[in-house]
Structure 1
Amino acid sequence: MKTTPAVGTPLSRIEGKQKVTGTARYAADYNVPGLLHGYVVNSPITKGRIVQVDTIPALAVEGVVEVLTHKNRPGLAWFDLQYTDMDAPPGTVFKPLHNADILYNGQPVALVVATSFETARYAATLIRFVWEEEPFDTCLQNHPEKARPAKKGFATALRPPPPKPTGNFEAAFANAAFTVDADYRHSTEHHNPIELFATTTIYEGNGKLTIYDKTQGTINNQLFVANVFGLHYKNVQVLAPFVGGAFGSGLRPQYQLFLCVMAALHLKRNVRVVLDRKQMFSLGHRPQSLQNLRFGADATGKLTAMSHLAVSETSQFEDYTEQVVAWSHKLYPAPNTLFDFKVVPLHLNTPIDMRAPGGCTGMHAIECAMDELAYRIGIDPLQLRLLNYSETDPSTGKPFTSKALKTCYLRAATQFDWFKRDGRPGVTTRGNKLVGYGMATGIWDAYQFPARVEAIITAEGKLVVHNATTDIGTGTLTVMTQIAADAMGLPVAAVTFEYGDSKKPFSMFQGGSAITASTGSAIMVTAEVLKKKLLKKAQSIPNSPLKNAGMEEVIFTNGTIRLRQTPRQAVSFKQIIAANNGKPIKTTRMGMPHAIKLRKYTKATHSACFVEVEVDKDLKTITVTRAITAVAAGKIINPKTARSQISGSMVWGISKALHEETILDEHLGKYINTNLGEYHIPVHADINTLEVIFAEEEDTLINELGSKGVGEIGLVAMPAAIANAVFHATGKRVNKLPIHFDELL
């Protein structure tokens, strides 16, 4: 009689068949009548000006409709005022085709619009530019003297300034029994989701647009387009029902959206703009960073001093920041601390968030410093972390809403056989391979954003839920369907979750591992109101067995409302809607973070990662042969999709530690490996045994679900665990990521 609970069930993705059979349509897959195709021309110089541009040869090509440059672009856009989006950092946002100035290599300088993509691409090669080049700076380590504090502004709430110092760090460090003073360097990484960035704009007339876009935030891009082009919000609809990966690259509107909409409005035609793989390297990226960590401990191994200083790149026109330096004091108590984060403006595009922004950068340095400190003291690296374990947030003194990190440590260590290893570096071998074992801690914020949900019970007694969120491949559609099913006491098959549309109720962009907590909690809030409406209507039915029942006296199960004490007495959702003259019963409510209640607490997810590597004795090639990650993230809504999120993050951790790097030629001011042939990412042969453990963690405070996000927590500990394992295998510390084999020769 009762509905089988959906939450906690490892349900396969609802849209999975569409994706694997090719019937899922992405931003560039929509057949639109009379479609024109745009091709972007990018600047080959890094800094300077366009002196002359000749578009006549391109316009002479049959099928070319228009060539837009700064010379002839329409005045429709809001060029003369500051405009922004919900994820914009402080500064002056980049405006494509605004003027003749070149701010970074790869900057879009023209858009060719033609009747076919191939024609537009060919015509783009015929445009003749005359450039005036100027000196530029693109290499972070060459300009540390230019580091300055980042400006504060919109969207910095998620990127707070460095924590204030405590105690007297310099004196404590000088007097510490054991110390580590180490520098760390991270190279540039670029997002490479499988789906290329694309926009299809359908010109509806009368200032109305329907836009299919690769984005993580339909409403964010709706606001952007409406503001920039002076359109009414209700006349701009942004759709993203399927997104082929994003990982932060789709949080901000990318320039192909701007150019596509500009062309559609200018020509009053339907237009599509798709960036090729090389052009995707002209978008934002994970920034270069330099870090210095100084940790000190007393004779017992207790931390007495922690300093974390970081310098990162930003553009000349915006101040992009990340939370890099705050993590150590959220994990480990030390009475004397010093933290600072600065940026160096370079002649590059503004960096953007990439999975676990700041977290995987900072935690790599922190956890490698902890590992080095453990070897200095002569203590097991895990034991050092347990010795400095804190049940409360050391940086604030506040308790965590929940923290099962110790469970993560012990379960993963036991499954990994950590305590059976020989702790001496460079002595464990397997044939011609040096074998190393490393571990690291992970922490990530448990974000929740406001979200609005509409829930409808239809004439068939089924539930339809509306929200504007996207699903970037994380399983959002499936998880939201499960949450809604349980909230209303329905089987999953009776629930439809409609999303990826800016016309639907409000959602922030999908990022920060926040959407399950945000939209999921909003579903819970809305469902409670909807259930009360249904019960009230059920009570008005003649001879209703529920006439005098309160909410605490009934249960919602299998599409019915039943008396808790006498469950045979029931009214079905279908009967209720019939009594409502066949009209659906619906409600819309906003889910909000429990800001006031949670002021007294710190919210975080935690993880522990254990890694085995093999290093070839002769070639020094590194292979991650085994890795285990244990995660504490509250209630796990769908173990199958959550496990996929963690294992995918672990793969990215391997990539960051050993493979992934965009090479910057400082003399040309450009990236030189802008393709998937030379931008190295792991292939199947690089990935071996990956195991995921979910620690039991009940959190009754964090939100209505008791759930925390899992998109990023699986990544933050992996790079450090791998670097520590490489040290254990070889006895050599490599503090630059990615680790190349030649650094071990």
Structure 2
Amino acid sequence: MKFDTPAGANPIDRERVVGRPLDRVEGPLKVSGTAPYAYERHDVAPDAAYGWVVGSTIAKGRIQSIDTRVAEAAPGVIAVIHAANAGQLGQSGSHAVRLLGGPEIEHYDQAVALVVAERFEQARHAAALLKIDYVVEDGRYDLEDAIPHARQAPRGFGGPGLTRAGDFEAGFAAAAVQLDERYTTPDQSHQMMEPHASTARWDGDALKLWTSNQMIADAVDDMAVTLGIAKDKVRIISPYIGGGFGSKLWVRADAVLAAIAARHIGRPVKVALARPQIANNTTHRPATVQRIRLGADPDGRIVAIGHESWSGNQPGGGTESAGIQTRLLYRGENRLVAHYLTELNLPEGNAMRAPGEAAGMLALEVAMDELAEKVGLDPVELRIRNDVQYDPEKGPERPFSSRPFIECLRIGAKRFGWSERLRTPASRREGQWLIGMGMAAAFRGNLVTSSHARVGIERDGRVWVETDMTDIGTGSYTIIAQTAAEMLGVDIADVDVRLGDSAFPKSAGSGGQWGANSATAGVYAACLSLRREIAQKAGFNEAEVDFADGHVVSGNRRIALGEAAGPDGISLTDGLDFGSLSKRYAQATFGAHFCEVGVDIHTGEIRIRRQAGAFAAGRILNPKSARSQVIGSMTMGAGAALMEELVVDPRFGYFVTRDLVDYHVPVHADIPDQDVFFLPELDDKSSPMKAKGVGELGICGAGAAIANAVYNATGIRLRDYPLTLDKLIDRLPPP
């Protein structure tokens, strides 16, 4: 099915099942601990051996020699796999680095060997017995120092590395009010609950890989290229994933080494990355240096907006597109958005929840707060005055598919009690606490991608759905079941959903906030085709048929769904491919963040007292799981604002804060109260579901609202994240 015209009325609009805050269908399995994750598949590999990944202890150079004799002689050791005995490996275009290094080393903790033993403890012990000599080479590890070597990025997550409209330089120079400031964000780590883990088994020349991966079809491609085998010889299975946030969009060293080792020893192998290995061995969000220039008239209307961002990566890696939202969020006829990329020999930088906007909004929305102060406007009013209903780079010929941004601002402000904010910074105090309020816009592009599914009806009327879509804790099982139940007129309890297997039709996968909208649209298309097939089989006019209460209904005739399916049941495969609507209409999700903080006047400690947000993301398919997504991403925004930082040791080129002892993330005590409100919205140009993605919207702008609240509380403007107390303590007003 091709989606190239706006969606009209369709069965989803009934919202009998879709749009309801239903519990997760897989919830009982997860809370009882019986949902099998990749490393726990003992049923499929009872004779599995265990692998321990050995990482490089240098960041750049080469292996001079590797002595495996002592390790190989250790108790229980079966094999030691390294570049010299792993066989010829291909290099997938999904990775900027090789997943098994040697003899050249590209980054610290790059996998250089896998020790395989009968027991996990034996593999870990023997790994410490490997003797590896390196030749160290000089590398670049500091973004600030590498900026002079930066070049314009060719492309990033947000499209071209450079976009212009009007004459930015002239417009900015002529502006009555000017803001020109610099902001920095650090390297950040995904820190999902489940580590990267895999269980590999070969059946003859065919590989079965149980792994934690967000994009199943891409994982098949990666493994086939890396191992040099045909794609039809690779089966990826990943029904349950304990979080990913982008780190599992592609296979990593655990998957590749498990497959190589299993082939080498002729039996299944399990490999999991230890928590300290994840920061340096997988991917991370790259640090940025951002310069924002805003030129406005005396009334606060922007006439020139410029956003330049610098980030670093491995050779061949991409940029963190921190200016992507600046291309679309505010008015201004003179525009410049530029991204610059420099080579760093740190671990690979890649997608982390809301790549681009999450880092870019930390800067842009603080700059907007500063502009509001310069022109004497309330920050909410400033954003309302600079709303634009079309793509400001392309003009009115490319309008937004929907854009209730102003409604989000106004409703969010009212729910939060924004009118109680004191405009003069550092003017509200409660005991030892300076109290402040801040706000910021929320923005994330609406991405869509083709998705397919197989849908069937059994003779007893039960419905089943198969698609390689993944559930990374986001509720995919439930919203897919809701979609099929709505389309075929059954209860959600009568739908079985099977996900995360490359034997199933290719879906959108989970990433970029596109998963829910795209995957349910694919199921919608398959169900629509099945409805036609059932109608014809039952002798009904498909234009007059309805599906309700487990029956096919047309006029006075009612046939049970199972009876219409026939004694052998019925199934078919179909899906949805998106046409040109995303080119003809700018598509995005919007919102407004609000935050109240307290800052201890003695210590500089920052405490979030409450967070709130109003969001517009099309039809909300399941308000309960959507709220969970948004409060989770708001919490990630709080972490980015206040504590998260992969600290680089520039002497050795590695991340020092590599586990949850040193890499701090928010805990319950850090987030006492969160209010989430979804505006009622249908976007008929987004998909037949009239939905949009919502999972990443909540992180975009949340941290900036906190930063603005800190300024309102203290009168101290911080532009370098995270906002740790050492940056405040010597600048606080007298107690």
Same fold (TM over 0.5): yes
Deviation at 1:151, TM superposition (A): 4.2
1:633 matched to 2:617? The reply is yes
Counterpart for residue 83 of structure 1: 92
Q: Which residue of 1 aligns with 2:3?
A: none
Cα distance, 1:518 vs. partner? 1.1
Q: 1:308 maps to what in 2?
A: 307
1:574 CA drift (Å) = 2.1
Distance 1:507 1:483, change over 3 A: same
Counterparts of 1:429 and 1:54 in 2: how far apart (Å)?
64
Query: In structure 1, what residue type is equivalent to 2:630?
Result: I
Asked if 2 retains the 8 angstrom alpha-carbon contact of 1:74 and 1:266, the reply is: no
Q: What residue in structure 1 maps to residue 726 of structure 2?
A: 742
SS at match of 1:221: helix
| 1:698 maps to 2:682 | yes
CA distance in 2, matches of 1:363, 1:673: 24
Residue in structure 2 matched with residue 521 of structure 1 by the alignment: 521
Give the aligned partner of residue 122 of structure 1: 125
Map 1:663-682 onto structure 2 (within 5 A). 663-682=647-666
Q: Do the aligned residues in 1 keep the contact of 2:458 with 2:569 (CA within 8 Å)?
A: yes
Q: Which residue of 2 aligns with 1:102?
A: 105
Between the aligned partners of 1:660 and 1:191, the Cα distance in structure 2 is 10
Tell me if the contact between 1:438 and 1:724 (Cα under 8 Å) persists in the aligned partners: yes
Aligned counterparts, 1:370-409, within 5 A: 370-397=368-395, 398-409=398-409
Match of 1:687 in 2: 671
**What is the letter of the counterpart of residue 506 of structure 2?**
F
Answer yes or no: is the 8 Å Cα contact 2:18–2:621 preserved in 1.
yes
Would you say 1:188 and 2:187 are equivalent positions?
yes
1:605 deviates by 0.5
Q: Deviations over 1:561-586 (max 9, x none)?
A: 1124x4xx3111122233xxx12211
**Residue 239 (structure 2) aligns with:** 241
**Structure 1 residue aligned with 2:441:** 441
How far off its partner does 1:235 sit? 2.4
In the aligned structure 2, how far is the partner of 1:8 from the partner of 1:509?
21
TM-score normalized with structure 2 length: 0.95
Q: CA deviation at 1:345?
A: 0.5
| Aligned residue in 1 for 2:137 | 134
The answer to whether structure 1 residue 725 and structure 2 residue 716 are counterparts is: no
The whole-number CA distance in structure 1 between the counterparts of 2:440 and 2:149 is 33
Residue type of the partner of 1:606? F
- Does the Cα contact within 8 Å between 1:517 and 1:705 map onto a contact in 2? yes
Percent identity (aligned): 35
Distance 1:170 1:396 in 2: 19
Rounded Cα–Cα distance in structure 2 between residues aligned with 1:233 and 1:53: 33
Q: How many residues align structurally?
A: 712
Question: How far 1:463 sits from its partner (Å)?
Answer: 1.0
Instruction: Decide whether the 8 Å contact of 2:330 with 2:387 is kept in 1.
Output: yes
Q: Distance in 2 between matches of 1:614 and 1:239?
A: 47
Q: Secondary structure at the match of 1:106?
A: coil
SS at match of 2:652: coil
Q: Equivalents in 1 of 2:36, 2:230: separation in Å?
A: 27
Whole-angstrom distance in 2 between the partners of 1:274 and 1:599 = 42
Q: Deviations over 1:268-313 (max 9, x none)?
A: 2111111100111121100011000010111111111111110001
* 2:372 aligned partner, one-letter code: A
Is 1:318 equivalent to 2:316 in the alignment? yes
Cα shift at 1:98: 5.0
2:167 corresponds to which residue? 168
Deviation readout 1:592-624 (Å, 9 max, x if unpaired): 11x224432111000100110101111110011
Task: Indicate the SS of the match to 1:49.
Answer: strand
1:30 aligns with 2:18: no
SS at 1:487 equivalent? helix
Q: Where does the alignment leave 5 or more consecutive residues of structure 2 unmatched?
A: 1-11, 730-735
Partners of 2:496 and 2:384 in 1: CA distance: 46
Identify the residue that residue 733 of structure 2 maps to in structure 1: none
Match of 1:591 among 572, 576, 579: 576
Separation in structure 1 between the aligned mates of residue 697 and residue 187 of structure 2, nearest angstrom: 21
Q: Which moved more, 1:220-229 or 1:603-612?
A: 220-229
Match of 1:355 among 327, 350, 353: 353
The 3-state SS of whatever aligns with 2:47 is: coil
Taking structure 1 as reference, are residues 726 and 4 closer, same or farther at Cα in structure 2, changes over 3 Å only? Answer: closer
- For structure 1, which segment, 512-521 or 473-482, has the greater mean C-alpha deviation from structure 2 after superposition? 512-521
Specify the alignment match of 2:82 in structure 1: 69
Q: Which residue of 2 aligns with 1:474?
A: 474
SS of aligned partner of 1:182: strand
Moved more, 494-503 or 229-238: 229-238
- 1:4: Cα distance to partner? 8.1
Distance 2:417 2:46 in 1: 62
Deviates more, 1:595-604 or 1:474-483: 595-604
CA distance in 2, matches of 1:439, 1:96: 42
Amino acid at match of 2:354: A
Q: Which residue of 1 aligns with 2:484?
A: 484
TM-aligned CA deviation for residue 445 of structure 1 = 1.1
**Partners of 2:534 and 2:697 in 1: CA distance:** 39
Q: Which residue of 2 aligns with 1:5?
A: 16
Correspondence 1:422-441 to 2 at 5 A: 422-441=422-441
What amino acid sits opposite 1:535 in the alignment?
A: A
**What secondary structure, in the 3-state scheme, does the structure 2 residue paired with 1:608 have?**
strand
Distance 1:71-1:329 versus aligned 2 partners, 3 A rule: closer
- The aligned counterpart of 1:543 is none
Distance in 2, matches of 1:490 and 1:38, equals 46
8 Å CA contact 2:158–2:324 kept in 1: the answer is: no
Question: Does the CA contact (< 8 Å) of 2:109 and 2:277 recur in 1?
Answer: yes
Q: What secondary structure does 1:307 align onto?
A: strand
Alignment pair present for 1:269 and 2:267: yes
Native 8 Å contact 2:222 2:250 kept in 1: no
Q: Which amino acid aligns with 2:341?
A: V
Correspondence 1:529-540 to 2 at 5 A:
529-539=529-539
Quick check: 3-12 or 392-401, which moved more?
Answer: 3-12
Which AA in structure 2 matches 1:122? H
Partner of 2:410: 410
CA distance in 1, matches of 2:61, 2:103: 8
1:199–1:256 contact (8 Å) kept in structure 2:
yes
SS at match of 2:370: helix
Q: Does 1:146 align with 2:133?
A: no
3-state secondary structure, aligned to 2:505: coil
Structure 1 residue 160: Cα displacement: 0.7
Task: Report SS of the residue matched to 2:169.
Answer: helix
Tell me the residue number matched to 1:542: none
Distance in 2, matches of 1:478 and 1:237, equals 24
Give the secondary structure class of the aligned counterpart of 1:165.
Answer: strand
Q: Aligned with 1:278: secondary structure?
A: helix
Matches of residues 541-690 of structure 1 in structure 2 within 5 Å? 546=540, 550-564=541-555, 566=556, 569-578=557-566, 582-593=567-578, 595-690=579-674
RMSD over aligned Cα atoms:
1.5
- 2:6 corresponds to: none
- Mapped to 2, the partners of 1:4 and 1:67 lie a distance apart of 56
Task: Give the structure-1-normalised TM-score.
Answer: 0.93
Aligned partners of 2:425, 2:264: CA distance in 1, in Å?
65
CA deviation profile, 1:490-542 (whole Å, cap 9, x unmatched): 11011111111011001233101111111111111111111111111111xxx
> 1:50, 1:130 within 8 Å by CA — same for their partners in 2?
yes
Paired position in structure 1 for 2:258: 260
Aligned-pair CA distance for 1:703 = 0.6
Counterparts of 2:648 and 2:162 in 1: how far apart (Å)?
Answer: 32
Distance of 2:244 and 2:271 partners within structure 1: 18
Instruction: State whether residues 518 and 592 of structure 1, in contact with CA within 8 Å, keep that contact through their aligned partners in structure 2.
Output: no
SS state at 2:543 partner: helix
Q: CA deviation at 1:202?
A: 1.4
Can you give the 5+ residue segments of structure 1 that lack an aligned partner in the other structure? 540-545
- 8 Å contact 2:647–2:655 — kept in the other structure? yes
Whole-angstrom CA distance in 2 between matches of 1:96 and 1:367? 37
SS at match of 2:152: coil
C-alpha distance after superposition, 1:357-382 (max 9, x if no partner): 11111111111111000001111111
Deviates more, 1:601-610 or 1:509-518: 509-518
Question: What is the Cα deviation at residue 36 of structure 1?
Answer: 1.0
In structure 2, relative to structure 1, the CA distance for the partners of 1:246 and 1:597 (3 Å cut) is closer
